[in-house]
Amino acid sequence: MKLREDEVRVPAPEGDIRTMVLRPAGDGPWPGILLYTDIFQLTESSLRSARRLASAGFVVCAPELYPHGPLAGVALEFDDAGKQAGLAGAAATTTAQFDADRTAVLDMMERHPDVTTLTAAGFCLGGHLAFRAALDPRVAATVCFYPTGLHNGALGADPDAGTLARAADVRGRLMLVFGTRDPHVPADARLRILSALYAAGREDTEVHLYDGGEHAFMRDVGPRHDPALTDLAYAEAVSFLHGR
């Protein structure tokens, strides 16, 4: 499937958010995905993920995580310096700032003539942000790929964003994806997340646990990438977001 890709600037309280919008070529409309990257922002690897989802029949809107500071417009390298810069960008961003930017992008998507329903997805830190997107009643379905900080609340500058404590506010469908060898979301962290969701009445949450999957196993750069598990995770996510 051929795609159209556009770079747009989404107005937000602290300034415009650089956002990539990818959709199938031709006439829509299609469901929309607010897609959060990992800490490295809009790398070619993240754009390949966005293209893969767009080719499945979605309008994918992928904003920068840190659009208002020194990392605006920067795609970080997958090395130690890039990792430290990405972590520093997160540490300088409050939950309130993440939330304000999310609202701005969802507002843009809601007005987009080619977008029908709103959904969300994200990887790593972006998986946590996707869960927070699920708190917006406009979001019909959300997929969180190995969300970091969700089990203990850690998000950016805030030691506890209180995300799980608001699980009962999620109105849409929810899917979580984990790998068994993820040190950032180990078994006890996964249990804590599921216990909180069940306590909030979210027994219908889909959980996909992939044996042998490391953290960021879906990032198609580096030794942690597992192509077979990635294909499975995308197939399940696409089916889920399309409302099966």
pLDDT confidence of residue 58: 98
Measured CA to CA, the distance from residue 13 to residue 98 in angstroms comes to 11
CATH number reported for the structural domain that contains residue 45 in this entry: 3.40.50.1820
Confidence (pLDDT) at 71: 97
Query: According to the model, what pLDDT value does residue 244 have?
Result: 73
- Where do runs of H (alpha helix) occur along the chain? 44-54, 80-91, 95-111, 125-133, 187-199, 227-241
Domain that holds residue 107: 3-241
Question: Tokens 């650089």 belong to which residue?
Answer: 18
- Cis ω before 29 (30° cut-off from 0): yes
d(CA 147, CA 105): 20
Residue 1's pLDDT is: 82
Output the six-digit token pair for 60. Answer: 């994918």
Contacts of 31 (CB under 8 A, 6+ apart): 57, 58, 59, 115, 116, 117, 118, 119, 241, 242
Q: Which of 39, 131, 162, 132 is nearest to 89 (CA)?
A: 39
User: What's the pLDDT score for residue 203?
Assistant: 84
Tell me if 36 sits within 8 A of 122, measured CB to CB: yes
Q: Residue 17: what are its φ and ψ, rounded to 5°?
A: -110, 115
If you ran DSSP here, which 8-state letter would residue 155 be given? Answer: B
Q: What total of structural domains would you count in the chain?
A: 1
Which residues are within 8 A (CB) of 241 and not within 5 positions of it... i.e. 6 or more apart?
A: 31, 33, 58, 119, 121, 141, 143
Question: Is 238 a residue whose pLDDT tops 80?
Answer: yes
pLDDT at 120 over 80: yes
Catalytically active residues, by annotation: 124, 182, 215
User: Which residues fall within 8 angstroms of residue 227, CB to CB, at 6 or more apart?
Assistant: 220
- CB < 8 Å & 24+ apart, contacts of 217-225: 217/146, 217/179, 218/49, 218/123, 218/145, 219/38, 219/45, 219/78, 219/123, 220/45, 220/48, 220/49, 221/43, 221/45, 221/78, 222/78
In the chain, the percentage of residues whose pLDDT exceeds 90 is 97
Query: Tens digit of pLDDT for each residue in 1-32?
Result: 899 999 999 999 999 999 999 999 988 899 99
